[in-house]
A and B are shown apart, each in its own frame.
Chain A
Amino acid sequence: EAGVTQFPSHSVIEKGQTVTLRCDPISGHDNLYWYRRVMGKEIKFLLHFVKESKQDESGMPNNRFLAERTGGTYSTLKVQPAELEDSGVYFCASSRITGNRGETQYFGPGTRLLVL
């Protein structure tokens, strides 16, 4: 079974440009999460999809970030326009819907974003 995949693995862009990150969850996982780790800080929750619906986007830093999950499969996270403070590692995770809060979230390798 394929794990969570993310694309690209690395992205270097200039301030003001747009970047789109993609996440493909494990097949059959209806929960999809985005997390971010800014250098030197802890990994923080951004948002949560259940199928194609945004369940919780309380962690999104501002309206420059837009996440979508059309069709309830893969998800994209767009940053427009990118700012220096957006640099970091963006992780995607997925899990099954079981109603059990102990359900394991499986993480992808992350996208390392550097905004110059």
Chain B
Amino acid sequence: AQSVTQLGSHVSVSEGALVLLRCNYSSSVPPYLFWYVQYPNQGLQLLLKYTSAATLVKGINGFEAEFKKSETSFHLTKPSAHMSDAAEYFCAVITAPSGAGSYQLTFGKGTKLSVIP
């Protein structure tokens, strides 16, 4: 079965500092991985996804993530944090149980990012 683990339920960074949110996956098949963000009082928004093409994936708002098979990781980074990045971030993997087309997302527990002025 596929799963993801997010290290750190809360991360604080200073404005302008590097953002690093960690995600490790477990999968018996080549994984498809996603990062979603949830801003306060809003729904989940896709930041980026890895679908077996380039290992370095660029997303919206300056975020990127690198798929490292040897480390089973898909960490999310941003060179310089902005106050508007304060949100909760979720790593997810597609799980494909039996049944054609039934691709469900399996999420990590989420990481709340705080940005300190």
Contacts and interface: CB of A to CB of B under 8 A. Distances in A.
A47 B61 CA distance: 31
B105 interface: yes
B20 interface: no
B43 A107 contact: yes
Interface size class of A (residues with CB under 8 A): 20 to 34
Interface size class of B (residues with CB under 8 A): 20 to 34
Contacts, number: 67
Contact of B96 (A31, A58, A101, A105): A101
Nearest to A102: B51
Interface of B: 32, 34, 36, 41-46, 49, 51-52, 90, 92, 94-97, 99, 101-110
Given A55-B99, A102-B32, 7 more contacts: A6-B43, A41-B109, A42-B107, A45-B105, A101-B103, A104-B34, A110-B43
